[in-house]
Structure 1
Amino acid sequence: MKLKLLFFCLFLAVLLIPAESKHKHKKDHEPRGHGKHGGRQKIKLTFEDIIGDVLFKDTSDDDDDEDDDFNLEWLFELQEPDGRCTPNPCRNNGVCQEKGKRNFKCDCPEPFRGRKCDKGPRRCRRGLCGRGECVLTSSPPFYQCKCKWPFQPPDCKHIAVCEPNPCQNGGQCIQEGNNFDCQCPEGFRGRFCHVGPNDCYVDDGETYRGNVSETEDGYDCLYWNSHFILENGRDPFNSFEDSDGLGPHNFCRNPDGDSRPWCFFRKGHKLFWDYCDVTRCPKPTKAPTEVVPTVPQPTSVEPPSTTASPSETTEVPQVITKPTEVPVVPELTTKPTEGPVIPSATAEPQQFQTCGQPQPRKTLTRIYGGLKVSPGAIPWQVSVQEKPKNSQLSYRHVCGGVLISSCWVLTAGHCIEPNKDMRVVMGSMALDRLDPAAQTVEVEDTILHENYRKTTEAVYNDIALLKLKGTEGFCANETQFVKTACLPDAQLPDGMECTISGWGATEESDYGSSHLLDANVLLISQEKCSEPKIYGSVLDPSMFCAGHLLGGVDSCQGDSGGPLTCKNNGDHVIYGLVSWGDQCGKKNKPGVYTRVTHFLDWIRSKTQATP
């Protein structure tokens, strides 16, 4: 019986291993991100989850080095540039001074510090807020603790489950050990019954100012002024409120022109985002109305506490309805574009006349770069999808790719498999639901490099072209969300910061991210990457390395074949394709990319020779 119980526990452990940990056991020298995308599961935060959260370590004496590991991947020391000050390695307006042939020094403005002026003042140390989230404020002591109930303010170390009552709007608190449930009055919902019956959004939710603070999957939203999501090194001593509805709260908003309200959330040390569990306002039968809740106080979704200070007291927002001129939201009746879109004769001269010029709807200036991609920010990113030849099965995402002209997509060679029907989806930020601006075009032909070769050590000449189906040279249609990246015309300097993007699906994971992600990496010199402790002699001129030599962000956050783009002379050029690597985010094992400059003649010969 004990043996059966042991096997059962081991079986459960295998099922519960998160995707991030699976990445760490990646087979050596394996092509990156050639996998599938799967579903999600609704979660409910429990007392045991809070106690087991690695971020709520109950100590406040961590030293500076440990605190660095806590502040996300961007605080790792990155691969050092050649010692030149162009491009400037100093962040936050630091002044770079060259010292010798391969060294430099950054003079940092207050309050920044560090070799590259990338570290701001430490206000939120691990354990400072007990079992709670530390948020930055603009007045002393420049931080505040937001407790995870049933832990109580001000330090989030003491427990009180249902006394005081955390449930708002007349909700009844039902205690189960150290856990609780709020039984909400009719029309109210949310973990604390804080979401009213008229809490909904219109259009894309840009004007939404309601109280929903959970994702569709049930994760608690982080506060917008959480130190965990504010951009590394950005001065925290300013107002956190703006016209986009952001502020010292954790309510869902849409500050970047996405399709609906969303928020950031956290799993362990990893930062994610997702759409929120907020409903669209129904069509009005008469004059349309807009729900405008009063602007809540910073702690408005926290349950009231009889021991809390006045600043910690909860205010229940009053819901006010008023007439508005917001137009009625029509039902989505248009499907994503299937097949080639042929512009009219008057539109033909404007199609893809420029490259490498994104037009994002809005940018998130205060929020962490390298995670939330604004719509239109990476318009050349495509999802390469396949299914068995002539089958009735659904297409599945297998790789990333990059649009280089109306009818050509560049991807990795190891993404090409025989006996498959293939298509590409462009202009969509998500895999689980296509955006209205998405274009879906079938692949007419695949061209794998003639010298493509995969060994146990590396993948050589890992490049392929996808020719899209079209008419008279038109396949994809250029829009704000579908544009081409430029081909590079020269080598770029080592140490330059570039961007990788993708959905992060891998063979070891049944799901990657359902939303497009990006991350910043640095170009690493061939000499450095060919050192024995890194990749040694397996590298050839068709490859290069990029990433962080001390680990952290890696191309596991992207997909095979996806783009590594660099901004050069104002244009975004496709400098590399995600290819292979030794595990994921491992020290001294950065991602390896196909060097596009090495294949320029091959690309041009194939795309120009094929009508």
Structure 2
Amino acid sequence: MNPRDTEEMTATMKRELLCVLLLCGAVFTLPGQEIHRRFRRGARSSRVTCRDEKTQMIYRQHESWLRPMLRSNRVEYCWCNSGRSQCHSVPVKNARATCYKDLGVTYRGTWSTAESGAECINWNSSLLARKSYNGRRPDASKLGLGNHNYCRNPDKDSKPWCYVFKAGKYVPEFCSTPVCSQEKNGDCYFGKGLAYRGTHSLTVSGTSCLQWNSMVLIGKINTAWKTNAQTLGLGKHNYCRNPDGDAKPWCHVLKDRKLTWEYCDIPQCSTCGLRQYKRPQFRIKGGLFSDITSHPWQAAIFVQNRRSPGERFLCGGILISSCWVLSAAHCFLERYPPHHLKVVLGRTYRVEPGVEEQKFEVEKYIVHKEFDEDTYNNDIALLQLKSDSPQCVQETGSVRTVCLPEADLQLPDWTECGAFWLRQARGVYNAPSLSFLTASPFYSERLKEAHVRLYPSNRCTSQYLLNKTVTSNMLCAGDTRSGGNQANLHDACQVNMSVSPYSEPTPG
């Protein structure tokens, strides 16, 4: 073979071998450099990750995530710690809560605005690493902290809070999260219903409310797009609200293809027993003059005169619910027709009308079927007020229901109570009560009150009451302050109270 041919062949083989080596270098050397750069021998990776064995998702160091559990109302809370996934099960919390209860320790809603209007900082943010409460705490999930910026109360403060950036610092601030109304399941509202967050969505006419984020409402003031809509309870729903301080909750509706609004068909929550107690102006014989706002549950019952025009005062009563008044059975011995009766609430004077007075006709009245005219045993009657709506009275400072006692309530001897007296019959509640009647046969011109004490059962007997019959469901009380516990019951302000177990009847 020609030496040049041999040399040329040798050179060609060297070039081909070099190409193969270069190609191998391109395939093996470059990844090796990348691996060397990322995982240097003797050094820990600066980008530690974890792989979820169930979902095969990759997570960074300290990152958390939730994993559903089959056939369970719990989920798994996982956390990437030093390259290992650490998971444990946690109960599912309602994240749709729009308000908090009590201190808000268990609040798990999505409110994320502080009282100043500032947006909350993510609890997982590295900016909060040195704070006592952050999303990287071992007990973060139990406290409701994590990869979010929702308001929480991990330290049992007075209400939910979060960290915000203020004046160059990251400081805690209370959230503007509304407190839940105390009404049961949102079935009623307090005051004007400004804090109502229930789910009623029908108006007084039975029309369904429009969504607050409906495109039909573009251009209206109170919508889900309002700046403080979340604070006002507006959002992607059609629940009744009162964002503008109106008289009660309302909503937008479409009627006859026209956009309008209507009040909602929601009853007002009972505020039984609340009153504006005013010190009696002066003492009089037979009691103290009082004002209706001190006893707003007091009712006056009038009856039409049979032989002359007009009406006369019949008896007193107590408002026990929106449409029911408790009175004495002996007041209705003459069996008056219900349409001859009238109930007046909110009146201090017997004849002069009150500023917030409310008048009602009587639908029907129920006298205890075992009422005894001779002994006044079971001396109880109930009057149903007539109204076109389910709610009769409108609660005001002068008109309010009394709180009914529990069926098994036992009051100790000598307990001081208030009494209202209706001619010979008497009644008692654990609050000062009133009557339009004086101790004399003549009527008082205004309300009067008296305080009495309950006598022990061994003194509530016939021998202490001039041989008057005392049954097992009667109580005795009198004014003992002048003579102490040994005061003669007959000489004191006598009150013979007949009580019977009863429950509020169902209308109809």
More contact order relative to length (CA 8 Å, sep ≥ 6) = 1
Work out which of the two has the higher radius of gyration on C-alpha atoms and give 1 or 2: 2
TM-score interval for Structure 1 and Structure 2 normalised by the shorter chain: 0.3 to 0.5
TM-score, normalised to structure 2, is 0.40
